[in-house]
Structure 1
Amino acid sequence: MNYFRLAAAGVAMALASPSLPASAAEAVNLILNWTPTADHSPFYYAKAQGWYEKAGIDLTIESGKGSGVSSLKVGSGGSAFGIADLGTMLVSKSKGADVVALMSIYANTGQTFYWLKSYGVNGPKDFPSHKIGNPPGDASRVMWPAFAKAAGIAADSVNFVNVGPTAKIAALKGHSVDIISDFYNEHDRKVIEFGDDLGYVNWKDIGLNPYGNSLIVNGAYLAKNPKLAHDFVTVSQKAFAACVADVDPCLKALLDNASGLDKENQQRQWERIKYLMTDEFTTTKALGWIDGERMKKDYELVQTYLGMEKPFEVDTAFSTKMLDTAIKMDATKVTVKK
């Protein structure tokens, strides 16, 4: 009799006690390629909406200092996930970094060089003997030999000057450099600043269109945590699709977490970003799709112009298995054309 009374009391206490979570969320770090801007807003939006938390992910978003830095940090296991230019990631992988790309963000390269015509530069053929300003870890500096060869100029014919990402326009305006590299999503800000004096060339214009910024993961982490990686990617896809549909709440989440950003500039950036996100694969296969044939071309580009310290099978550098094929890029939302 006492046994039944104790059991009943135990049940009553269990019902009266607050329920506890089955398991704590997994702490996950995402290192960005640079400081937060519009192209990172979907990650902040999904975090603010609690989508990562619901998937069991306690996400920390870390500012970056270039694709070279983010590739190496992810490749060494210092961060589970990261954002990096895919060409730069391939260079890092050839040097031993354990990295795998899971989702493209820029299906078209955002790499662009800008200059002022009044400085005597009218195109890549005029680059020799001029100063190019960008940070040391900038993807365009890492991949510069490829651009130089495609443009028909010597790789050592220019001088690079270290300029932080937020100081590029001021450096160009003050003539401490003659040319700057920047992402195409920042295009409108330069048009507003320099008007008709502005000259530019997107890498795609000279026949180089490698995949740009992409979501990457540490290979060992992926092997150990396939479900978490899948959930992280699909939540991120969902967030990018939501921001394509309506960017206002996404930019609010970004601005709530990053200081010093101008909302109108970020809105203009996002219109350019949607163009960079769009190609035949992201609109038909899945938002963020990485095509195997394009990856082979990117690998060959890096191999030809930069060389691979330790060659590897390109299929080991990316995976589309984590993508939700029901989520596709909506090309009807793209209003800006290059």
Structure 2
Amino acid sequence: MRQFIVAGAAGALSLLSVSASAEPLSLLLNWTPAADHAPIYYALDNGLYEEAGIELTVEPGKGSGMAAQNVGVGAKSLGIAELGTAFLAKSKGADLVAVMAIYANSPFTLYWRKSSGIEGPADFAGHTLGNPSGDAARVMWPAFAKAAGIPEDGVSFVNIAPAAKIPTLAAGRVDIISDFYNGHDQKIETLGDDLGSLRWSEVGLNPYGNSIIVNGEFLSENKDMVARFVDVTQQAYRTCAEDIEPCIAALMNNASGLDHDAMVAQWGRIAELMTTEATVNEALGWFDPVRIQETYDLVNTYFELDAPFDPATAYTNDYLDTAIKMVE
């Protein structure tokens, strides 16, 4: 064993032991740490990756688009990205393969204040929509606009940081925000009865959401390592689905500025997004080939893919343990 000094979330120094035989591996998150990443931090804090011979480094991200690009060019071995965005990147030459679904249902949701006069998408024209430039919902906006029957250029996008979405909307500095459904309760707490919302699935768009992606070349050369990573991660998500408290504790131990109750509420929504017939009956993280095709068709319909590809080459269920299923 070897030891080195690391700085904790509050800046405190501690000794961390890592097996001399552990192989380094990097994981780029889609955004900053939140409840959907709690299982990863749970596995880290409990030494599960280390036991599997992996020295995992987790880095905060700046959007699914950025994660897909970094993994696609091999700058990062693994990442988390919304699958439609990953497919777009793949059509532009990104070498990546999805190995585990986190959000088996689409998390895309639009929020507004009813007092602004907006009742639904028909009222979006002429309003501002706030989100980061790398936000997956901004990348996929043309698909939503077409499905909802509204002009693609009807809204004006405003760049705001992820953490600023809710306060910016509440202050009226933007009229609409895009966000993931896992943060729904926080918006209810902030805006109460003035909150208006629409999940993209309500207009018939339900592509696969956040998924773990791997650089294709890295995968071909490190299949055993990827298998070990997926095994630990899949088990961690199942453990957290049964009891989220120790996982939220691990998350908050590794990320500052998070509210415990908000993260617990967020996880409740995430559990909804993780639960489908396939994840309950086949395996937690399972990709349904039919829905993979539907996700690809959605992207291919609403975007001009630079180079169409067979979606079967963009994912695999081979690294999932079928004995590990999502709780009902």
TM-score greater than 0.5 by the shorter chain: yes
In 1, Cα distance between equivalents of 2:283 and 2:132: 33
- Closer, same or farther in 2 for the Cα pair 1:132/1:22, shift >3 Å? closer
- Give the one of 310, 323, 326 matched to 2:323: 326
What whole-Å deviation, never above 9, does each CA across 1:234-264 have from its counterpart, x for those lacking one? 1100000000111111011100000000000
Contact 2:19–2:50 (CA under 8 A) maintained in structure 1: no
- Give the one of 91, 98, 101 matched to 1:101: 98
Corresponding residue for 1:263?
A: 260
Corresponding residue for 1:121?
A: 118
In 1, Cα distance between equivalents of 2:138 and 2:38: 25
In 2, Cα distance between equivalents of 1:256 and 1:142: 32
Corresponding residue for 2:156?
A: 159
Root mean square deviation, CA, Å: 1.0
- Give the one of 54, 57, 74 matched to 1:77: 74
Q: Tell me, yes or no, if structure 1 residue 316 matches structure 2 residue 318.
A: no
- Give the one of 265, 272, 276 matched to 1:275: 272
Paired amino acid for 1:120:
G
Paired amino acid for 1:318:
Y
In 2, Cα distance between equivalents of 1:130 and 1:297: 30
- Closer, same or farther in 2 for the Cα pair 1:275/1:22, shift >3 Å? closer
Q: Tell me, yes or no, if structure 1 residue 37 matches structure 2 residue 34.
A: yes
- Give the one of 166, 171, 190 matched to 2:168: 171
Corresponding residue for 1:289?
A: 286
Task: Write the mapping of 1:1-338 to structure 2, written as runs, cut at 5 A.
Answer: 24-331=21-328
In 2, Cα distance between equivalents of 1:234 and 1:290: 16
- Closer, same or farther in 2 for the Cα pair 1:175/1:281, shift >3 Å? same
In 2, Cα distance between equivalents of 1:325 and 1:307: 36
In 2, Cα distance between equivalents of 1:57 and 1:155: 45
Secondary structure in 2 matching 1:210: coil
In 2, Cα distance between equivalents of 1:39 and 1:119: 31
- Closer, same or farther in 2 for the Cα pair 1:55/1:133, shift >3 Å? same
In 2, Cα distance between equivalents of 1:54 and 1:76: 29
The alignment's TM-score, normalised by the length of structure 2, stands at 0.94
Paired amino acid for 1:48:
D
In 2, Cα distance between equivalents of 1:222 and 1:252: 31
- Closer, same or farther in 2 for the Cα pair 1:117/1:22, shift >3 Å? closer
Rg larger in structure? 1
The Cα shift of 1:170 comes to 1.1
Structure 2 residues without counterparts, runs of 5 or longer: 1-17
What whole-Å deviation, never above 9, does each CA across 1:19-58 have from its counterpart, x for those lacking one? xx99621110000000000000000000111110111100
What whole-Å deviation, never above 9, does each CA across 1:41-91 have from its counterpart, x for those lacking one? 000000111110111100000000000000001111011110000000000
In 2, Cα distance between equivalents of 1:39 and 1:268: 11
- Closer, same or farther in 2 for the Cα pair 1:124/1:27, shift >3 Å? same
Secondary structure in 2 matching 1:155: coil
The Cα shift of 1:296 comes to 0.7
In 2, Cα distance between equivalents of 1:22 and 1:56: 7
What whole-Å deviation, never above 9, does each CA across 1:171-204 have from its counterpart, x for those lacking one? 1112111000111010001101111110000000
What whole-Å deviation, never above 9, does each CA across 1:260-290 have from its counterpart, x for those lacking one? 0000000000011100000000000000000
Structure 1 residues without counterparts, runs of 5 or longer: 1-20, 332-338
Secondary structure in 2 matching 1:254: helix
Corresponding residue for 1:8?
A: none
The Cα shift of 1:120 comes to 1.1
Corresponding residue for 1:10?
A: none
Aligned residues: 311
The alignment's TM-score, normalised by the length of structure 1, stands at 0.91
In 1, Cα distance between equivalents of 2:170 and 2:318: 46
In 1, Cα distance between equivalents of 2:179 and 2:159: 13
In 1, Cα distance between equivalents of 2:39 and 2:20: 26
In 2, Cα distance between equivalents of 1:74 and 1:66: 12
Paired amino acid for 1:36:
P
The Cα shift of 1:157 comes to 1.1
